[in-house]
Amino acid sequence: MSKILLIEDDEIMPKIVARILPATEYQLDHVSNGKEALLKLEATNFDYDLIITDIMMPYANGFEILSKVKNQSRPIPVIIVSNAGNEDMIMEGFKLGADDFLKKPILPAELLIRVKRLLMKNT
């Protein structure tokens, strides 16, 4: 079972993602801001197979999480899911090492396929 950390401050999105990614195949942990995410990652010793994160969040934004995660000896694949349409922000995400980007509103099937693809690539 793959362990996924979802960092998202929207209250609906975690419910949607939980339905898209079946609980039988994925263990989904949710935190609602960057600070909680960093605490969670440190507490679990970065033991996640994938991170799905928003960009604009309170306390620490998606870029900070990204740079922290990508500086680890075992970088975790990261998918950015955001409604930021700004090209510079998307490019900044990829420069920091994001593996994929999905713009909100998302296509559920697309998220599922991209999650599967990244997990397969990293196993």
Partner 1 sequence: MALLQLSAFPSTIESIFRNAPLAIQIAMVFIVVAITGTALAYYSILRSRYRGYRRDKKLSVLLPEIDNLIIDEVLTNPDMQQDIPADQVPLNLEPFQRLPLDRPWARQALTDRIIHFRRNVRGNMGNLLRNLYIQLELDKDTMKKMKSRRWEKKVQALVELTSLNMSIADVTILPLTNSRNRELRAAARHAYIKLSKNEPFKFFDVVTDPLLMWDQVELFRIITTTEGIAIPNFARWITYSGNKSVVSFCLKLVVHYNQLAAVPAIIKLLDTRDHYLRADAINCLGKLKVAEAEDQLVRIYTSQPLHCQIEILKAIGRISSGRNIDFLKTEFLHSTDFDLRKSAAKSLVKNEWFAKQVIDELLATSSPENLRILKHCMNPLIKY
Which is closer to partner 1, CB of 91 or CB of 107?
107
Q: Interface residues for partner 1 in 24-63 (CB under 8 A)? A: none
Binding mask 94-113 for partner 1 (x = CB under 8 A): ----------xxxxxx----
- Of 4, 7, 13, 52, the one binding partner 1 (CB under 8 A) is 13
Q: Is 12 in the site for partner 1 (CB under 8 A)?
A: yes
Q: Residue 64's Cα: distance from chain center in Å?
A: 12
Distance CA 97, CA 105 (A): 23
73 Cβ contact partners less than 8 Å away, ≥ 6 residues apart: none
Distance between CA 92 and CA 86 in Å, rounded? 10
**Cα three-residue angle 80-83-84, rounded to 5 degrees:** 85
90 lines the binding site for partner 1 (CB under 8 A): no
- Measured from the CB atom, the residue of 58 and 108 that comes closer to partner 1 is 108
120 sits near partner 1 (criterion: CB under 8 A): no
